[in-house]
């Protein structure tokens, strides 16, 4: 356990004990699981106020039942909402509590999520040393679980961490590692993750003044996505990159990007 969690774990333990002294103990009903699922559904639909209400209701029920796994799941949900709404101090607090609750109960998947979200919370608050500690741990946990998709999400955040430290080559290595994985294993892909990788690489290029297209397998991306449903977004990314190169008076590179955008874009249907 990282040192900063020792005090948190003791606090959560004493708090749970006091709640157990004042509330009756009973097995969690299916209602708690249903409310938790509602929270997840609302979160997925970006209805964060509703998600918060459901996660809080689930937390109360699981706490009364002294169901630590349910408590951890509910805390993970609350942390996820606060990460999305950029309330990072709150996401940090709930992630710390979830890590403390889930550390010794054997729910490895939920524990991995808690550790991952704790690392992201620290990163958003610019505590890069703590962020690296927990992101590295999350990476190990997801590797043990064989969860390659979430491994890639952790690596992306490690890339953000290195970019924040201005360790740009390490950041680019992280981004390209994820991109290569996604290109080689279509089963791992989500459209959102693919475009997140591309956008992060573009941001890195803009930040460092990178002017070579050889750093990224553009033609491979064009070939792969030209038959998919990603044309509009891919074309927008290439146009943005073209505008960047044009602003730097690298007109040959800008023209190459605009050409790529035309190749990816959906053909115009003539009447």
Who wins on pLDDT, 91 or 230?
Answer: 91
Please state the rounded mean pLDDT for residues 153-171: 93
Residue 186 main-chain phi, psi, to 5 deg: -55, -25
Residue in this structure with the two tokens 């505008």, named with its chain if needed? 243
Who wins on pLDDT, 181 or 171?
Answer: 171
Who wins on pLDDT, 236 or 12?
Answer: 236
Please state the rounded mean pLDDT for residues 216-228: 54
- HEC readout, 13-55: HHHHHHHHHHCCCCCCCHHHHHHHHHHHHHHHCCCHHHHHHHH
Assign 185 to helix, strand or coil: coil
- pTM value is 0.71
Q: What is the pLDDT of residue 195?
A: 72
Residue in this structure with the two tokens 């889930």, named with its chain if needed? 102
CA 113 to chain centroid, in Å, comes to 10
Write the pLDDT tens digit of every residue in 21-31.
333 334 455 68
Write the pLDDT tens digit of every residue in 63-108.
999 999 999 999 999 999 999 999 999 999 999 999 999 998 889 9
Number of helices (H), then strands (E), belonging to the chain: the values are: 13, 0
Indicate if the pLDDT at residue 138 is higher than 70. yes
Q: What is the pLDDT of residue 231?
A: 61
- Residues in CB range of 65: below 8 A, 6 or more apart: 25, 26, 27, 28, 32
- Residues in CB range of 50: below 8 A, 6 or more apart: 38, 39, 42
- Residues in CB range of 167: below 8 A, 6 or more apart: none
Who wins on pLDDT, 221 or 67?
Answer: 67
CA 173 to chain centroid, in Å, comes to 18
Write the pLDDT tens digit of every residue in 172-187.
889 888 877 876 665 5
Write the pLDDT tens digit of every residue in 43-57.
999 999 999 999 999
Quote the CA–CA distance of 45 and 51 in Å, as a whole number: 9
For the chain, give the mean pLDDT: 78
């Amino acid at each position: 356990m990282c040192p900063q969690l020792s005090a948190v774990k003791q606090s959560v333990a004493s708090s749970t004990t006091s709640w157990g002294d004042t509330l009756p103990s009973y097995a969690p009903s299916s209602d708690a699981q249903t409310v938790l699922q509602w929270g997840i559904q609302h979160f997925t639909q970006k209805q964060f106020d509703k998600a918060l209400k459901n996660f809080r209701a689930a937390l109360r029920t699981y706490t009364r039942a002294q169901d630590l796994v349910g408590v951890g799941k509910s805390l993970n949900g609350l942390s996820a909402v606060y990460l999305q709404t950029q309330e990072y101090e709150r996401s940090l607090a709930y992630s710390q509590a979830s890590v403390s609750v889930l550390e010794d109960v054997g729910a490895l998947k939920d524990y991995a999520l808690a550790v991952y979200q704790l690392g992201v919370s620290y990163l958003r608050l610019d505590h890069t040393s703590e962020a690296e500690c927990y992101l590295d741990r999350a990476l190990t946990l997801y590797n043990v679980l064989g969860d390659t998709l979430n491994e890639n999400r952790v690596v992306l955040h490690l890339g953000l961490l290195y970019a924040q430290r201005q360790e740009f080559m390490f950041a680019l290595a992280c981004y390209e590692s994820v991109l290569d994985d996604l290109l080689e294993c279509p089963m791992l892909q989500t459209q959102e993750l693919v475009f997140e990788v591309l956008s992060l690489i573009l941001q890195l290029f803009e930040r460092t003044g990178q002017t070579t297209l050889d750093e990224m397998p553009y033609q491979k991306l064009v070939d792969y996505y030209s038959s998919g449903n990603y044309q509009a977004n891919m074309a927008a990314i290439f146009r943005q990159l073209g505008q960047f190169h044009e602003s730097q008076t690298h007109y040959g590179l800008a023209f190459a990007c605009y050409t790529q955008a035309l190749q990816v874009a959906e053909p115009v249907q003539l009447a």
